[in-house]
Structure 1
Amino acid sequence: MDLALLRTFIAVHRAGSFTRAAALLGLSQPAVTSQIRTLERQLGRPLFHRRPRGVTPTAVGDELAHKTAPHLDALLRITEAEQEAAGASRTLHIAGPPEFLCLRVLPALAPLVGQGHTLRTTLRADAEETLDGLAAGHHDLVVTTAHPRGGLFTATALCDEEHVLVAAPYWAALVDPDQLRDKGPAAVDGIPLVEVHESLPLFTRYWTAVFDTPPEAAATVVAPDLRAVLECVRAGAGLAVLPRYLCQGPLSRGEIVALLEPPVPPLRTWFLVVRTGGLALAHLARAHDRLLRASVHW
C-alpha cells in the first residue's frame, strides 16, 4: 500500500476535513480528495462519511487509522532523527498569550537556542484564533487555557495558575478582610476595577468561584495585557484579579497587596496543544518535554 496515500488518510482522519488536511500537507484539496478516493478503491471500502462540514471516519476508517497511525508516526520519528544527525535545523513556531509566553514559556525554551534550535512566536490571547492557526499549520505548539476537543489536537496539562485579588496599598487599606470574606463583593464597592476585557473574564471567574456570584460593576480600566493591568494596579488605578506568577514579585515587595486568601483559591489550567502525531517531530517533542519539566517549578 502506498505510504503517501496512508499519510494523507491519517491527516484527513485527524483533521476531520479534506481542506484542513490539504493545508497541513501542503497539497491542494482536490489532490487530497483524489488520494482518498484512490485508497478507498484499493481497499474496496469507504473510509469517510462526507458531511456538510468536513468528514467523519467510517468504522473501516477508524480501524485503519488505529492500525497504521503509530507506524507512520514512528517512520516520521526515524526521518526526523536522520535529518537532525545530518545537521538539518527546524524552526519551532509557538503561539499563546503574550504574558505567559514571555514570562514562562520562552525563558524555559531559551536553552534550546544554544543547541541549534530556532524559535518563532505569535503573541495572541484569543484561544480560538491560536487553535485555528495550529489546525491550519501556522503554529507547531500552542499554550492555552482552553482544552480542545476532537482528534485533530493532543492536549497535555502543563500547570495550574492561581488567581489573586490584588490592589495597591492605598486601596487595600480601605478594605476590611473580614467584611470581604463575609459580605463578598459589597466590601469593595466603589473601588475601580482593572481588567483585560470589558466582559471581566478574570473577575467573573474569581467572583463566581469565591463569592458564588458574578460581578455587577463595570471595569474602569481595560488593558488587553495582564502586564499592563499589573502596572495600573501598582500605580493605584484600582483592584484586579491576576495570576500569582505574574504578581508575586510586587506582592513580596509590598507594592501591591492580596486582599483575600481564600481556602481554595481559583485556579486555571494551562495546556500544551499540538496536532495529533506532531510529537513524532524531534524538535517539537524536545520543546514539549522541556516545558513539562520546567513547569514542575512554576
Structure 2
Amino acid sequence: MSGENFRDLQAFLAVARERSFTRAAAQLGVSQSALSHTIRGLEARLGLRLLTRTTRSVSPTEAGERLIQRVAPRFEAIAEELAAFEELRDKPVGTVRITASDFAANTILWPKLSKLQPKHPHLKIEVAIEPGLTDIVAERFDAGVRFGDQISKDMTAVRISRDIRMVIVGAPSYLEGHPLPKSPSDLTGHECINMRFSMRGGVYAWELRKGKRNMQVRVEGSWTFNSIYPVVEAALAGFGLAYMPEELARPHIDSGRLQSVLTDWCPTFPGLHIFFASRRQSSRALSLIVETLRYRR
C-alpha cells in the first residue's frame, strides 16, 4: 500500500467515525477543504462512492461500510502494536479516554486526576460526561466509571469511592404545600424532578429499598434533566422532590435548604468503580490512572 492510500484511508475512517468533516478535520489537524479533497481523491481511485453527504450529516454508503469493516480492525491492530512499543518508555504517554457520569467526574475524577496530569505532561486525559451506561469497547473508551452493580462481569473493575447512599429531598417551600410522603406509593401524588440517562431512553425509575423489599418507582413531574446538578438546583428552587446521592444533598440538608423524606426507603449502592476490558490492563497510562483513583479506606 502506498503512503498516499494509507493516509487517505485514515482520513476516511476519521470522517466515518466522527460522522462529520468538521470534527474529523480538527482531529487530523487539516483543513476541512483539504480533507474533502482527500476523500474525493480516494473515491475516484476506487471508483466507488464511500460517503453520503447532506447539509446536516455524513454517513457511509454500503461500499463505505464494507471498507470500514475490512480496514478499521487492521488499523486498530497497528495502533495497538505501536502503543505497546510506547509503553516500553519510562513515562506514561498517550490519551486515556474515560466515560463517566457528571457526579463521578466532579467528585472523584477531577479532584484526583487534575493533580496527577501536571506531573506527567505526556499523559492526556479525555473525560466524556455521559449519564447513561456506555459500551466502552464499542465506543472505544479505555475505561468507564459507574456504580459497582452496573458493571458487566467480563470487565475488570476497581473501586474508587466508598458506598454511596441515595436520598429523596425537597425544599421546605415545596414541602409546606404538600403532605410528607409516608410510603413510596405517595410519590405519585408529588411533583418529582426526573432524570433521563439517554435522550432516546426512558426516564429513570427511582430505586428504593427497605429491608428485603426492593421497588422501582416511576414518578411524574414538570422537569426532567440528563444531569444530576440541575436536579439539585431544581430541588433547591422548590420545584419538587428529587432523588440524588446524599453527598450532593448533605450540605443543603445541614443548612436547612433541603429536607429528607422516606429515609427508611433510601438505598445504598456499592460505590463507584473504574472498569476496563482486560486487554487494556497492560497500558502504563491507564494503570497509573487506576492506581491514582483507587479507593483506600
Short-chain TM bin? 0.5 to 0.7
Any idea what the Cα deviations from partners look like across 1:55-102, whole Å, max 9, x if unmatched?
A: xxxxxxxxxxxxxxxxx9xxx5xx5664135xx732221111123212
**Residues 210 and 262 of structure 1 are in contact (CA less than 8 Å); yes or no, is this contact kept in structure 2?**
no
**Residues 80 and 281 of structure 1 are in contact (CA less than 8 Å); yes or no, is this contact kept in structure 2?**
no
**Residues 209 and 266 of structure 2 are in contact (CA less than 8 Å); yes or no, is this contact kept in structure 1?**
no
CA distance in 2, matches of 1:292, 1:226: 23
Q: Which residue of 2 aligns with 1:101?
A: 105
CA distance in 2, matches of 1:263, 1:238: 18
Q: Structure 2 counterpart of 1:166, which letter?
A: V
Any idea what the Cα deviations from partners look like across 1:206-253, whole Å, max 9, x if unmatched?
A: 278897544364233111111111110100000011011222222222
TM-score by length of 1: 0.61
Q: Structure 1 counterpart of 2:131, which letter?
A: A
Q: Which residue of 1 aligns with 2:132?
A: 126
Q: How does 1:48-197 map to 2 (within 5 A)?
A: 82-85=88-91, 89-116=93-120, 117-127=123-133, 130-131=134-135, 134-136=136-138, 138-145=140-147, 146-150=150-154, 153-159=155-161, 160-173=163-176, 180=182, 184-188=183-187, 190-197=189-196
Q: Which residue of 1 aligns with 2:262?
A: 260
Q: Structure 2 counterpart of 1:94, which letter?
A: I
CA distance in 2, matches of 1:247, 1:176: 21
| 1:24–1:206 CA distance, 2 compared to 1 (3 A) | farther
CA distance in 2, matches of 1:99, 1:122: 12
Q: Which residue of 2 aligns with 1:26?
A: 76
- Structure 2 alignment gaps of length 5 or more: 1-68
**Residues 80 and 282 of structure 1 are in contact (CA less than 8 Å); yes or no, is this contact kept in structure 2?**
no
**Residues 157 and 269 of structure 1 are in contact (CA less than 8 Å); yes or no, is this contact kept in structure 2?**
yes
| 1:111–1:271 CA distance, 2 compared to 1 (3 A) | same
| 1:89–1:213 CA distance, 2 compared to 1 (3 A) | closer
| 1:212–1:119 CA distance, 2 compared to 1 (3 A) | closer
Question: Residue 215 in 1 paired to residue 217 in 2?
Answer: yes
Q: Which residue of 1 aligns with 2:20?
A: none
Q: Which residue of 1 aligns with 2:31?
A: none
Q: Structure 1 counterpart of 2:101, which letter?
A: P
Q: Which residue of 1 aligns with 2:57?
A: none
Q: Which residue of 2 aligns with 1:245?
A: 247
Q: Structure 1 counterpart of 2:250, which letter?
A: Q
Q: Which residue of 2 aligns with 1:275?
A: 277
| 1:102–1:207 CA distance, 2 compared to 1 (3 A) | same
**Residues 175 and 188 of structure 1 are in contact (CA less than 8 Å); yes or no, is this contact kept in structure 2?**
no
CA distance in 1, matches of 2:283, 2:237: 46
Q: Structure 2 counterpart of 1:185, which letter?
A: P
Any idea what the Cα deviations from partners look like across 1:112-160, whole Å, max 9, x if unmatched?
A: 1221232111111221xx32xx21472212112321133xx32234332
- State, as a whole percentage, how many aligned pairs show the same letter: 16
Count of matched residue positions in the alignment of Structure 1 and Structure 2: 217
**Residues 194 and 219 of structure 2 are in contact (CA less than 8 Å); yes or no, is this contact kept in structure 1?**
no
Any idea what the Cα deviations from partners look like across 1:194-214, whole Å, max 9, x if unmatched?
A: 0112844252x1278897544
CA distance in 2, matches of 1:249, 1:222: 23
TM-score by length of 2: 0.61
Any idea what the Cα deviations from partners look like across 1:18-56, whole Å, max 9, x if unmatched?
A: x79x7496149xxxxxxxxxxxxxxxxxxxxxxxxxxxx
Q: Structure 2 counterpart of 1:287, which letter?
A: I
CA distance in 1, matches of 2:203, 2:165: 17
- How far the C-alpha of 1:104 sits from its partner, in A, is 2.0
CA distance in 1, matches of 2:157, 2:143: 10
Report the structure, 1 or 2, having the larger helix content.
Answer: 1
RMSD: 3.5
CA distance in 2, matches of 1:174, 1:97: 33
